[in-house]
Amino acid sequence: MKTLDDLLGEGVSGRRVLVRADLNVPFDKSDPSIISDDGRIRAVLPTIVALRDAGAKVIVCSHLGRPKGAPDPKYTLAPVATRLGELLSAPVVFGEDTVGESATAAAQALLDGQVLLLENLRFNAGETSKDDAERGAFADQLAAFADSYVDDAFGAVHRKHASVYDVPARLPHYAGGLVGREVEVLKKVTESPEKPYVVVLGGSKVSDKLAVIKALLPKVDKLLVGGGMCFTFLKAQGHEVGKSLLEDEMVETCASLLAEADGRIVLPVDVVAASAFAADADHDVVQASEIPADRLGLDIGPESVALFAEAIGSARTVFWNGPMGVFELAPFAAGTRGVAEAITKIDGFSVVGGGDSAAAVRTLGIDESGFGHISTGGGASLEYLEGKTLPGLAALES
């Protein structure tokens, strides 16, 4: 696929460039106007700055949340435009619609080196439509704004959406620096990981990670399982798990995976069990085989952290996706913190697979420089590791 460097080499001064970014940032629950983590905005800055400094008229588009194909003030990108302007140290023009009168007028009035952010792509039903004609019609409107297209939204490349899949067919298209780096890193951990190779998986459900477990199991030396999904594996070992998260329909599958892994799947040996899903709930550390019937596991315990850290410490390559517990609640954050800190100390290459894992790194204040790469796309990373064809990457390669 052609890259941003190729586009810059061709010259962009005075030309309009449509940049698909992933600005789907979280907001503070107590004040929905405040961005709680601007990591995704910062991630796309190098591409925007490079184009701006080369004299391009930069038109940025993104989705935010899941509006129902119509404008919804709850999901406006206006606060993102403000934050982007602060990070660029220059005002960002904001289009109050995506392809309507406001956006069209703003795009036509752009000066060389200016940046415009369009309103939320998902305010238009055509963005996510499964109907090719409807999606294509919206893509036509977006493509009409620009002379070239750059995709730097790795977190969206697994979606067959108009701005990701259809617009590249209508314009000269290029991969941004972020997308290029993500693909390079994921190729490294899927095609030629340096051994020993350890994968750490957490999160809620085995069913969400089943495909990636099956894809990675033949390649890894150890697969460490934490988070809510570990309880279905513990049940498959014959342990009672109290009120912990459990997928009964996946127990037999987990038993088969454990048999196939022949010791390479490592489960927690102790957990933090609480009386309720709350920060002030009574809780204590119990053996994973002795979870009380009236309690639920909300984190891995200290023995498990030590066990996981030992496996991680021997690795030359580590891929981590999913927290070890409910890290948003302080009493249940130690497992995720301990595993993350162990990963920062390895003598090798580590990848944080985006999503909640990346959020945990920033929320817990862990030094990001200790990781080889922090992905901006949790779902896209997992689908890449599964070996799926990602529509956005296929569009860039065509």
d(CA 175, CA 177): 7
Q: Single out the catalytic residue among 95, 126, 354, 379.
A: 379
For residue 196, whether the previous peptide bond is cis, meaning omega lies within 30 degrees of 0, is yes
The long-range contacts involving 109-113, CB below 8 angstroms and separated by at least 24 positions, are 110/16, 110/57, 110/58, 110/59, 111/57, 112/13, 112/14, 112/55, 112/56, 112/57, 113/52, 113/53, 113/55, 113/56, 113/57
Nearest to 67 by CA among 27, 26, 123: 123
* Sheet order of strands, 270-274 included: 283-287, 270-274, 296-300
Q: Single out the catalytic residue among 355, 372, 378, 392.
A: 355
For the question of residue 242 being annotated catalytic, the response is no
For the question of residue 379 being annotated catalytic, the response is yes
Greatest distance between any 2 Cα atoms in the chain: 67
Give the position of tokens 């696929």. 1
Q: Single out the catalytic residue among 16, 20, 40, 235.
A: 40
206-216 and 378-386 helices, crossing angle to 10°: 40
Cα–Cα–Cα angle for 104, 106, 107, nearest 5°? 65
d(CA 375, CA 39): 10
Q: Single out the catalytic residue among 2, 83, 188, 205.
A: 205
Contact in structure between 354 and 376 (CB atoms under 8 Å):
yes
For the question of residue 226 being annotated catalytic, the response is no
120 Ramachandran zone, left/alpha/beta (phi>0; psi -120 to 50): beta
For the question of residue 355 being annotated catalytic, the response is yes
d(CA 299, CA 230): 10
From residue 55, give the alpha-carbon distance in Å to each of 13, 113, 153: 4, 5, 22
DSSP for 246-258, please give it.
--GGGHHHHHHHH
Helices (H) and strands (E) in the chain, counts: 14, 15
Structure tokens that stand for 151 in this block: 């995709």
What residues act catalytically? 40, 205, 355, 379
